[in-house]
C-alpha cells in the first residue's frame, strides 16, 4: 500500500501559488484512509488545501504533535471540514504555553498555546483521544509520546515558559509527540517540533520500538538554538539508521539545515509546502 505525505503548511513554499507561514501540517494518505498531522497557524491551510487539490472531508483522524499555535491554529477549520472526527493528542495539549522574545528575553511573555478550548473544538465536531505514551493509533501508524528524555538531548530554548502556581517555569512541552509510519519498505518518522529532543526520539525508536533503519525523517527538529556539537550528533545518529531521506524543515533552523544538506547531499530535501513524499 502506497503512503503519500503532502506538506500542507510550512515556513517555506516549494510550488507556485502556495502560501508559507511559520508552522507545520502534513496530510498522510494510505489507500482510502487519510490523516492530518498538525494544522499550522491556520492562515495558509485553507488556501493550500485548495491549490493542492486536496480535501479534508472524511478525515479518519487528526493528530496533533503539541499544543503550540503554529501547529493547532488551523485545528477548528480542519475539524469543520472533516465533520465529526477523532483528534489524537497528548492530554497536556491545552497547557498554557508561553514564550518570551527569544532575543531580548524581556517584557511580558506572550501566549503561544492552542487558540481554542477543548469545549469549543468539541462543539465543532472533535472527539478527543488523549494518549500520553507510545501506542498504535491506526494500522501502521504509531503515536510517539511520553518518552524518556535525557536532559543533554533536550532543545536549548529558554524562551519557552508555562504557568504553575501563578509562577512562570520552564516549559518542557510535555505534550510533544511524533509519528512513526510503517510502509512497504522502511518506517518513516514525522516530527512536529521534536521538543522532546530529536536524539531522545531517535533513541526511543531504536531502543523501545526496535527500529534499526528509517526510510525517512521529516518535519521540524528544533535545532535552531543548538550548539556546535549537537548537529554532528544528530547527523551521526541519523546515519546509524541508514536513513534514505532527510526532509527536515520548520523549526530545524537554517544553520542545521545547511549542515545536514552538506552532509547528506542528495538524501536531503527541504520539506517545504507543496512537497509530496511517496513510500
Phi first, then psi: give them for residue 149, nearest 5 degrees.
Answer: -120, 115
Please give the pLDDT value at position 87: 98
Q: What is the widest separation between alpha-carbon atoms in the chain?
A: 52
Nearest to 182 by CA among 279, 254, 262: 279
Please give the pLDDT value at position 105: 60
| In contact, 215 and 185? CB cutoff 8 Å | yes
Could you read off the pLDDT of 120-168 as tens digits, one per residue?
A: 999 999 999 999 999 999 999 999 999 999 999 999 888 899 988 888 8
The DSSP-derived string for 168-229 is: EEE---TT-EEEEE--SSS-EEEES--TT-HHHHHHHHHHTT-----SEEEEE---TT--TT
Number of domains in the chain: 1
The DSSP-derived string for 64-108 is: -S-S-HHHHTTHHHHHHHH-SEEEEE-TTTT--EEE--TTT--S-
Look up the domain containing 125 and give its range.
3-278
Pairing of strands 3-9, 276-278: antiparallel
Helix (H) or strand (E) holding 258: helix 254-264
* 39 Cβ contact list (under 8 Å, min separation 6): 9, 23, 25, 45, 62, 64, 71, 72, 73, 74, 75, 77, 78
Pairing of strands 25-30, 276-278: unpaired
Could you read off the pLDDT of 219-230 as tens digits, one per residue?
A: 999 998 877 678
Residues paired with residue 3 on neighbouring β-strands, in sequence order: 30
Please give the pLDDT value at position 255: 92
CATH of the domain at 79: 3.60.15.10
Residues of the chain with pLDDT under 70: 102-106, 228
Could you read off the pLDDT of 260-269 as tens digits, one per residue?
A: 999 999 999 9
What is the overall mean pLDDT for the chain?
Answer: 95
The count of other CB atoms within 10 Å of the CB of residue 249 is: 24
Q: How large a percentage of the chain has pLDDT more than 70?
A: 98
Rounded CA-CA distance 13/10 in Å is 7
Amino acid at each position: 500500500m502506497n503512503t503519500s505525505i503532502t506538506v500542507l503548511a510550512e515556513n517555506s513554499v516549494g510550488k507556485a501559488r502556495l502560501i508559507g507561514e511559520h508552522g507545520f501540517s502534513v496530510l498522510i494518505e494510505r489507500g482510502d484512509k487519510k490523516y492530518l498531522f498538525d494544522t499550522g497557524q491556520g492562515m495558509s491551510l485553507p488556501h493550500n488545501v485548495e491549490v493542492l487539490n486536496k480535501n479534508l472531508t472524511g478525515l479518519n483522524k487528526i493528530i496533533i504533535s503539541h499544543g503550540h499555535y503554529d501547529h493547532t491554529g488551523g485545528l477548528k477549520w480542519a475539524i469543520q471540514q472533516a465533520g465529526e472526527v477523532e483528534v489524537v493528542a497528548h492530554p497536556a495539549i491545552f497547557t498554557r504555553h508561553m514564550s518570551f522574545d527569544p532575543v531580548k528575553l524581556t517584557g511580558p511573555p506572550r501566549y503561544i498555546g492552542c487558540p481554542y478550548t477543548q469545549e469549543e473544538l468539541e462543539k465543532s465536531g472533535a472527539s478527543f483521544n488523549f494518549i500520553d505514551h507510545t501506542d498504535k493509533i491506526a494500522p501502521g501508524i504509531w503515536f510517539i509520546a511520553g518518552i524518556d528524555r535525557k536532559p543533554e538531548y533536550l532543545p536549548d530554548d529558554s524562551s519557552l515558559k508555562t504557568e504553575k502556581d501563578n509562577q512562570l517555569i520552564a516549559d518542557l512541552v510535555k505534550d510533544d509527540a511524533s509519528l512513526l509510519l510503517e510502509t512497504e519498505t522502511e518506517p518513516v518518522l514525522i516530527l512536529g517540533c521534536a521538543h522532546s529532543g530529536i536524539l531522545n526520539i531517535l533513541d526511543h525508536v531504536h531502543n523501545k520500538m526496535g527500529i534499526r533503519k528509517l526510510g525517512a525523517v521529516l518535519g521540524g527538529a528544533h535545532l535552531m538554538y543548538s550548539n556546535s556539537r549537537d548537529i554532528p550528533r544528530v547527523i551521526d545518529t541519523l546515519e546509524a539508521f541508514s536513513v534514505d531521506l532527510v526532509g527536515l524543515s520548520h523549526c530545524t533552523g537554517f544553520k542545521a539545515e545547511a549542515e545536514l544538506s552538506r552532509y547528506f547531499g542528495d538524501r536531503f530535501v527541504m520539506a517545504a509546502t507543496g512537497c509530496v513524499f511517496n513510500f
